[in-house]
Amino acid sequence: MSLTFRCLLALALLPLLNGCSSTGYYSQLLTGQWHVLQAREPVAKVVADPQRDPVLRQHLARSQAARTFASEHLKLPDNQSYRLYADIQRPYVVWNVFATAEFSLDPVTYCFPVAGCVAYRGYYSQGAARGDAALKREQGMDVWVSGVEAYSTLSWFDDPILNSMLHWGDERLATLIFHELAHQRFYVKDDTEFNESFASFVEQEGTRQWRAYQGLPAAHTKGLQQREAFITLVLSTRQRLQQLYSQTLPAAEMRQRKAAEFERMRREYRALRDQQWAGNNRYDAWVNAPMNNAKLLPFGLYDQWVPAFAALFKQTGGDWAVFYKEVEQLGKLPPLQRKAALRQWAGPLPKANNP
């Protein structure tokens, strides 16, 4: 997932920001990014040092094969990003705060001097993220705080492999590298859905090709089918909520029907888990935790246009260079035309079934 820090190079604009809260927020961005940059060291140096953790050295050594594959085969940027390592001494590099109004699925957006607007606000401190979330809840908003393993500075800096990226094994690290390099390859200002869906597609297709390149079997079909079914379930819930919020209803009734939609999602999830997934409970914790609009936002941001990019990639014959040119053409369209083109590529959206 990317958190845009182009604003870090717009220091001259800081005096133009109104209010101590804005200045304080930008200050923590600058400090946090500076600490990440200061912690970097070449991967090759870590791998060659016998005093370093051998598991870390092996993990980083294997990561470089995926990094080379990304540039040579996926045509992603060939630079020093992810050829460096940084131990930031925490499980996540930033914590993103997502927020919506109580009866809306439109994210509260945050605009930066250079990078444009994004649908979340990032903090290098979990406590600061929770503090911001608490303030937004007091204002009646739906809020969700999510830890982030990695982000892209969009080629402003050489992004390192972070210790926060190493928790889930070699393939997960490769997917993160593919995703973040995709942000470096192309980025559209003010369109989080486009950017994240594009990077998610590159991650997914890149991982499929990476496995084939290594002579590994395709990823377990059952797991992929479960993931797709779960995403469809969440997106269908979003669609029904959007229909609900378009109505003019008393707040109390709207609140009651909103809660009913979330309960329906839980009920349908349990049916999937028990009847089709043989009891696989991989999503139980997420589903059973408190639910609100903001918690659904990452699904719309990260997955909404993945089918569109998949169709476009197929139409180009799987040629990455041609695909990126087509993506760039889409990115140049005005926002409404871009969304219409993506919708056409994606095909029909899943229908929201009525109770």
At 22, is the secondary structure helix, strand, or coil?
helix
pLDDT in tens, 160-186: 999 999 988 899 999 999 999 999 999
Spatial CB neighbours of 163, under 8 Å, sequence gap ≥ 6: 86, 87, 88, 89
Q: Which amino acid is at 118?
A: V
Distance CA 227, CA 279 (A): 14
Distances (CA, A) of 310 to 141, 159, 217: 34, 27, 21
CA 286 to chain CA centroid, Å, is: 16
Helices and strands counted in the chain (H then E): 13, 8
Q: What is the CB neighbour count within 10 angstroms for residue 134? A: 11
| pLDDT above 60: residue 116 | yes
User: What are phi and psi for residue 267, nearest 5 degrees?
Assistant: -65, -45
Question: DSSP assignment, residue 219?
Answer: P
Q: Coil, helix or strand for 99? A: strand
| pLDDT tens-place string over residues 139-165 | 999 999 999 999 888 888 999 999 999
Domain residue ranges in the chain:
6-213, 221-346
Query: What is the structure's pLDDT at 20?
Result: 47
Per-residue pLDDT at 26? 85
Name the pTM for this structure.
0.85
CB atoms within 10 A of CB 24: 11
Does residue 352 register a pLDDT over 80?
Answer: no
CB atoms within 10 A of CB 335: 11
More confident residue, 25 or 320: 320
- If we measure between CA atoms, which residue out of 350, 242, 246, 241 comes closest to residue 304? 350
Residues β-bridged to residue 116: 112
State the average pLDDT for the chain: 90
